[in-house]
């Protein structure tokens, strides 16, 4: 897999080891040398739009917002923005730079350097972005410890920036246990369809204890976001086979979905879950 594609699947910002797992060290070096991927901090890599956003914010005395702010804070996103997202105060003239401008009059305490602060970033994404994208940002913020779930829920109930119902829905479903943006996107599909799956729920099968991506413990259904990366070694492949064989032998229904299916075929994902729920094992 190309290093840029791998970085996209990882949420637009990732460490070298994760990129190499899906791609290769040579491809990562090539992408960095051609500036298709940039080195942003220590062992963190991102797409060029992240660096461009910071330069535009400084040039126009504006602030990064929405997905650009999320990446600035080091959070993974569902899809990286094609152009920087900048916050434009109401009444201010829009610059001619190629960017996406969002209107909101932020208070000084809601800002953090050249970006909207963590809490405001989540709130604005919840207000303006599709549910799956907004939930991914909220999950990432919780996973990185930038905000707490209590802060999100409290802020959503007092939100005065419009579309409060959407903001409250994102805050209610946000869960820091989600391990990556891919998993958050899969859970967004289930939540939108009215199903409740728990991320990283502990499942014990004999002496084996596993934490699948998403679990419905009532109906015995497990959903896995299959990254498509090759197993690092034979031992890892053996562990993966043992895990799924034991779960299936213990009457768990295990559904595995690829990145493309989650991103572009949500109807297929929902249809598979409905089929699983109709099985006798799920009814029992």
Question: Which two three-digit tokens encode residue 197?
Answer: 């799956």
- The predicted-structure confidence for 52-86, as pLDDT tens digits, reads as follows 999 999 999 999 999 999 999 999 999 999 999 99
- The predicted-structure confidence for 198-241, as pLDDT tens digits, reads as follows 999 999 998 889 999 999 999 999 999 987 654 456 777 788 88
pLDDT reading at 265 higher than 90: yes
Contact 277, 219 (CB under 8 A): yes
Using CA atoms in the order 20, 2, 187, 209, what is the torsion angle rounded to 10 degrees? -30
Output the pLDDT for position 231.
47
Output the pLDDT for position 118.
98
Find, among 133, 145, 20, 139, the residue nearest to 68 by Cα. 133
Output the pLDDT for position 229.
55
Q: What stretch of H or E contains 65?
A: none
The CA distance from 228 to 21, in Å, is: 10
Q: Which CATH number fits domain 181-283: 3.50.50.60, 3.40.50.300, 3.40.960.10, 3.30.420.40?
A: 3.40.960.10
Q: DSSP letters of 169-185?
A: HHHHH--TT--SHHHHH
Contact 116, 63 (CB under 8 A): yes
pLDDT reading at 258 higher than 50: yes
- The predicted-structure confidence for 9-28, as pLDDT tens digits, reads as follows 999 999 999 999 999 999 99
Output the pLDDT for position 254.
95
pLDDT reading at 130 higher than 60: yes
The CA distance from 22 to 3, in Å, is: 8
DSSP 8-class letter at 146: S
Output the pLDDT for position 228.
60
Contact 140, 184 (CB under 8 A): yes
pLDDT band at 284 (very low <50, low <70, confident <90, very high): low
Output the pLDDT for position 269.
98
Tell me how far the alpha carbon of residue 221 is from its chain's centroid. 22
The ranges assigned to domains in the chain are: 1-46, 47-173, 181-283
Rounded mean pLDDT of 139-148?
Answer: 98
pLDDT reading at 133 higher than 80: yes
Output the pLDDT for position 232.
54
Output the pLDDT for position 148.
98
Rounded mean pLDDT of 156-171?
Answer: 97
Find, among 183, 182, 186, 184, the residue nearest to 270 by Cα. 186
């Amino acid at each position: 897999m190309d290093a840029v594609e791998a970085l996209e699947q990882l949420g637009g910002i990732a460490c070298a080891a994760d990129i190499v797992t899906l791609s290769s060290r040579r491809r990562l070096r090539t992408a960095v040398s051609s500036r298709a991927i940039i080195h942003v901090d220590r062992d963190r890599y991102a797409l060029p739009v992240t660096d461009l956003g910071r330069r535009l914010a400084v040039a126009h005395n504006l602030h990064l917002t929405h997905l650009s702010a999320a990446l600035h804070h080091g959070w993974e996103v569902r899809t990286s923005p094609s152009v920087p997202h900048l916050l434009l105060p109401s009444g201010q003239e829009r610059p001619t730079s190629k960017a996406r401008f969002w209107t909101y009059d932020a208070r000084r305490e809601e800002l953090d350097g050249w970006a909207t602060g963590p809490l405001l970033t989540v709130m604005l994404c919840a207000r303006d972005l599709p549910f799956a994208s907004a939930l991914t940002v909220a999950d990432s913020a919780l996973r990185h410890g930038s905000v707490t779930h209590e802060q999100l829920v409290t802020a959503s109930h007092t939100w005065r920036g419009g579309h409060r119902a959407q903001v409250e829905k994102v805050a209610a479903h946000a869960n820091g246990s989600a391990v990556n943006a891919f998993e958050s996107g899969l859970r967004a599909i289930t939540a939108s369809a009215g199903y409740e799956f728990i991320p990283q729920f502990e499942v014990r099968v004999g002496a084996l204890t596993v934490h699948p991506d998403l679990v419905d413990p009532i109906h015995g259904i497990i959903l896995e976001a299959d990254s498509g990366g090759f197993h690092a070694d034979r031992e890892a492949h053996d562990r993966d086979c043992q895990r799924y064989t034991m779960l299936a032998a213990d009457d768990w229904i295990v559904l595995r979905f690829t990145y493309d299916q989650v991103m572009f075929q949500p109807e297929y994902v929902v249809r598979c879950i409905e089929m699983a729920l109709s099985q006798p094992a799920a009814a029992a």
